[in-house]
Structures are given as structure tokens and as C-alpha cells.
Amino acid sequence: MAIEVRREDRVAVLTINRPDALNALSSALLEELRSELTAIAQDDSVGCLIITGAGEKAFIAGADIAEMATKTPLEARAYAELGQECANLLETMRAPSIAAVNGYALGGGSEIALACDIRLCSENAVFGQPEVDLGIMPGWGATQRLARTTSIGFAKELIFTGRRVKADEALARGIAQHVLPLEELMPKALEMAHAISAKSPVAIAYAKEATNRALAGDLATNYMVEADLFSILFSTEDAKEGLRAFTEKRAPEFKGR
Ligand code: DAK
């Protein structure tokens, strides 16, 4: 198996394990990723997911270039859909996802990181969309997610030039939320993931659903959805428990219902 999933209480840590090819995503690897993400999305005991790459050099160096070179247009379409499905699963699953970007996040690797809710990166991280250097274009969502995460002009610059961006610039542009020395990356990701997992999963899921709308749809509808989700939370035991625990000056015990 080229993908490893381990659990630490309510945190799942998924590692892309193909370091010899800098964790480049072959079709077989992507299919495995889709199946693991589907299982995680259906598992209510997962409160937060961390995705990272094996080794100290790469998160994911992109789609597998050697394999892509052999694809017919129909196979390329299926490959694009598979990658998009993985990205959509990350974006829509109830549990938040954190990309722990431990090196190169190029092409499809950058796109998988962008589909995660939060990106932490190591000082040696490099982001970029170098597809145009190969005569192709991004196919797993960067044309939308990079523009929405940064700005449309910056996204076009990276997509049109293939320029690679180091950790500090990624931080300044809002691609990464924190930059850390490599050895501190996973401890920080785990600390954040455990903190998120300790909250009410219903509140987190609804907060994610509402926040995902921030860059899509119209503002009036999005405020209405926010109000609806907010009010639905008042039917949960977790909201009653959280509000009561505050007034009773004790830590809440959330049950996910
Ligand atoms: N695919 C396959 N193998 C890769 C790879 C990749 N993306 N990246 C690296 N490798 C392999 C190298 O071939 C090498 O293998 P061996 O020669 O040892 O067998 C090994 O990993 C180590 O790489 P290097 O020797 O090159 O290591 P360096 O430190 O010198 O350089 C690098 C690291 C990351 C700068 C360099 O490897 C590099 O530039 N890699 C390519 C990065 C890249 O261009 N990534 C974007 C790929 S395009 C779509 C679907 C998907 C996509 C687009 C459209 N549709 C169907 C519409 C997505 C596209 C992409 O992701």
C-alpha cells in the first residue's frame, strides 16, 4: 500500500508514501487515495484529518508525469475526474483537513493541498503550478482554488509562468497559514488537529459548510445559510452542553449529537 493511514484518537494521519518519486500521484495511488478519503469521510470517529508526504523532500510532486505522457484524451479525462473527486472529498467531508506540506507541493500536489481546509508548511516547502511547462494546464482545481485562496492575478501569474513559490511567499500570500522548521511541522499539525477534534463535530461540520461558501454564491444566501446552520445547532446536545459548561465554569464534554 502506498498510502498509510494511522489514528491518534480522533485524528487520522494519511501519508502518501512513494518517496522515490517524490510522492507523485499515479492513477493507482490516486485510486487508493480516493478509497481512503471515502472511508475517512464516512467515519464519524474522525474529528480531523492530516495529509502529508513520506520523506523530507516532498509533500506531493504532482501528477505522475511519466504515466501522464502515455494517456489518451479519454484516460486524461478519467484521471482529471479522479483527482477532482479526491479534492472534492477533502473539501466537503465533515471533518476538517490539514495539509502538512513537508516539501514540494507542485501541480496536482499543490491542488491537493489547496483542497485541504488549512495548510501548514515546513521551511523547505515549495508550491507551484508548473503544468504549462509540460504543455498542459492544472486539472484538479487550481484554476479555481488558487484564485480563491490568493487572488485571481496571483493565481494567473503562477499558472501562466509556472513560477515556484517558497514557504515565506506562500505564507504572505495566504496559501500557507504557518511556516515551521521541518521537525516541528507534524507536532504542530497534530496539536491543531487534536484541538479541532476536541470540539463538537457537529459545530465544526456546520462551520466548515458555512465557511466553504465564503468565496462562492451570493452573500445574502450565504448569510441565510449561516443563520440556518447556526440555529440548527441549537437542537444539538453539544450546543446545550457547551453553553451550560461555560456558565458552570467547567470543560465541555461533546458527544457529536
Ligand atoms: N512525476 C513522476 N516522477 C516524478 C515527479 C512527477 N511529478 N516528480 C519527481 N519525480 C521523480 C523523478 O523522476 C525522480 O525519479 P528517478 O529519476 O530517481 O527515477 C525522482 O522523483 C526524484 O526527482 P528528481 O531527481 O527530479 O529530484 P530533484 O530534487 O532534482 O528535483 C523537483 C525535484 C520536484 C524539482 C523535480 O523532480 C520536478 O520538477 N518534478 C516535477 C514537478 C512537476 O512538474 N510537477 C507537476 C506535474 S503536472 C490533469 C490532471 C492532472 C494534472 C493536470 C491535468 N488532467 C487530466 C486535465 C496535474 C498535473 C501535474 O501535477
Statement: residue 128 has pLDDT above 80: yes
Q: Span 92-116, mean pLDDT?
A: 98
Residue nearest to atom 17 of ligand 1 (CA): 21
Q: Is the CB of residue 61 less than 8 Å from the CB of residue 22?
A: yes
Domains, the chain, ordered by start: 3-197 (3.90.226.10), 201-247 (1.10.12)
Instruction: Please work out whether the CB of residue 65 comes within 6 Å of at least one atom of ligand 1.
Output: yes
Handedness of CA 80, 83, 85, 91 (dihedral sign): negative
Statement: residue 1 has pLDDT above 80: no
In the chain, alpha helices (H) = 27-41, 65-68, 73-92, 108-115, 142-149, 152-161, 167-172, 182-197, 201-212, 219-233, 237-247
Q: And the C-alpha cell for 14?
A: 494519511
Q: For residue range 176-203, what is the model confidence (pLDDT) as tens digits?
A: 999 999 999 999 999 999 999 999 999 9
Statement: residue 67 has pLDDT above 90: yes
Those residues whose C-beta lies under 8 Å from the C-beta of residue 184, and which sit 6 or more positions away, are none
The per-residue pLDDT for 246 is 94
Instruction: Please work out whether the CB of residue 117 comes within 6 Å of at least one atom of ligand 1.
Output: no
Q: What are the catalytic residues? A: 111, 131
> 215 falls in which pLDDT band (50, 70, 90)?
confident
Q: And the C-alpha cell for 43?
A: 467515519
Residue 203's closest CA among 166, 240, 171? 240
> For the residues of 191-251, what is the DSSP string, one character each?
HHHHHHHTS-HHHHHHHHHHHHGGGSS-HHHHHHHHHHHHHHHTTSHHHHHHHHHHHTTS-
Q: And the C-alpha cell for 102?
A: 513537508
Give the three-class secondary structure for 161. helix
The per-residue pLDDT for 197 is 98
| Residue showing cell 497559514 | 177
Instruction: Please work out whether the CB of residue 106 comes within 6 Å of at least one atom of ligand 1.
Output: yes
Task: Please give the distance, rounded to the nearest whole angstrom, from the Cα atom of residue 107 to the centre of ligand 1.
Answer: 9
In the chain, the percentage of residues whose pLDDT exceeds 90 is: 98
